[in-house]
């Protein structure tokens, strides 16, 4: 998230009038009483989960609790994936083949002045399952939990209505796959299949058949979210591949920033050539 956006949001949070907060709390009591008496539900809580369900709704920002400095360094601290021999061999072959010409290779040390392409400039929606450096927002409804990013990327739709996964033969894999969830022991637990093939942090890999189970649990004060990812796929892993990512709750009333991208701007797709160092 660009610095100016977070500054703006922080400013907004600071300027939230406390009188309105007090008014909301004051109003909440009679509304709750009246709603209970009428046998209906207060408007704002129409779809609010029942007690014992964590309140995940709101803005969240991924954090680097170990001072790793980048996501790659953060992921380097995760337990490494334990790959099957067949799959490890395949990965080795792919590594030797290298990335497509001109594509950015995270494993390569670039020379000063050597250009590489960081984005195709389509301003597209690649999406993904792990949060990136932009904030993400969770909205919990009885039948669905939705997670959206502040920059382009498919939203995550986690169906909570008891439906099963579809037949994968009839499902077009996506960056976010098909997710079904439930609440278990105070955490949101959801299972995803139908993911597009690709890398997974800490040396893992995923295919449409890979089963990903995520467990979102809150700290006692409700301000820290632990997202535990467990990938299972007997053709790839000798044991489930698990790692955790942490996020911190955004500021009260934090606005969702809109990452805007102009594909007509040629700079969107230019290569990056680090300047020569003296």
Contact residues: another protein, CB under 8 A: 4-5, 8, 11-12, 15-16, 20, 24, 30, 33-34, 37-38, 40-48, 55, 57-58, 120-125, 137, 139-144, 146, 148, 154-155, 157, 161, 163, 166, 172, 174, 178, 253, 255-258, 260, 262-264, 269
Report, in Å, the least distance between residue 217 CB and another protein.
18
Instruction: Choose between 54 and 203: whose C-beta lies nearer to another protein.
Output: 54
Report, in Å, the least distance between residue 164 CB and another protein.
10
Instruction: Choose between 94 and 262: whose C-beta lies nearer to another protein.
Output: 262
Instruction: Choose between 40 and 68: whose C-beta lies nearer to another protein.
Output: 40
Report, in Å, the least distance between residue 192 CB and another protein.
13
Instruction: Choose between 28 and 272: whose C-beta lies nearer to another protein.
Output: 28
For the chain, the DSSP string reads: --HHHHHHHHHHHHHS-HHHHHHHHHHHHHHHHHHHHHTS--GGGTTPPPTTS----EEEEE--TT--SSHHHHHHTSPPP-B-HHHHHHHHHHHHH-SPTTB--TTS-PPTT--EES--S-------SS--SS-EEEEE-SSEEEEEESSSSPPEEEE-SSPPPPPGGG---BSS-EEEEEEETTEEEEEEE-BPSEEETTTEEE-TT-EEEEEEEE-TTS-EEEEEEEEE-TTTBSS-EEEEEEEEE--TTPPPP-----TTSGGGG-EE-PPPP-
Report, in Å, the least distance between residue 211 CB and another protein.
18
């Amino acid at each position: 998230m660009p610095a100016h956006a977070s500054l703006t949001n922080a400013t907004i949070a600071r300027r939230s009038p406390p009188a309105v907060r007090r008014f909301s709390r004051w109003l909440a009591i009679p509304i709750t009483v009246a709603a209970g008496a009428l046998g209906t539900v207060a408007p704002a809580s129409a779809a609010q989960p029942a007690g014992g369900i964590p309140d995940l709704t709101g803005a969240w920002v991924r954090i680097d609790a170990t001072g790793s400095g980048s996501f790659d360094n953060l992921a380097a601290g995760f337990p490494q994936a334990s790959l099957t021999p067949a799959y490890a061999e395949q990965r080795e072959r792919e590594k030797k083949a290298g990335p497509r010409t001109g594509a950015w290779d995270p494993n390569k040390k670039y020379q000063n002045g050597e250009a590489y392409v960081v984005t195709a400039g389509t301003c597209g929606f690649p999406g993904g399952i792990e949060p990136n450096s932009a904030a993400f927002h969770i909205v919990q409804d009885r039948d669905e939990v939705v997670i959206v990013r502040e920059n382009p990327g498919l939203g995550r739709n986690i169906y909570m209505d008891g439906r099963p996964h579809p037949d994968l033969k009839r499902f077009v894999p996506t960056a976010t796959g098909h997710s079904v969830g439930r609440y278990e022991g105070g955490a949101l637990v959801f299972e995803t299949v139908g993911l597009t093939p690709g890398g997974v942090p800490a040396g893992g890999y995923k295919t449409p058949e890979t089963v990903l189970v995520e467990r979102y649990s809150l700290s006692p004060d409700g301000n820290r979210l632990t997202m535990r990812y467990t990938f299972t796929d007997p053709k790839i892993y000798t044991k489930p591949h698990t790692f955790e990512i942490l996020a911190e709750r955004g500021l009260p009333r934090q606005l969702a920033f809109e990452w805007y991208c102009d594909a007509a701007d040629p700079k969107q797709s230019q290569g990056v050539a680090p300047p020569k160092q003296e």
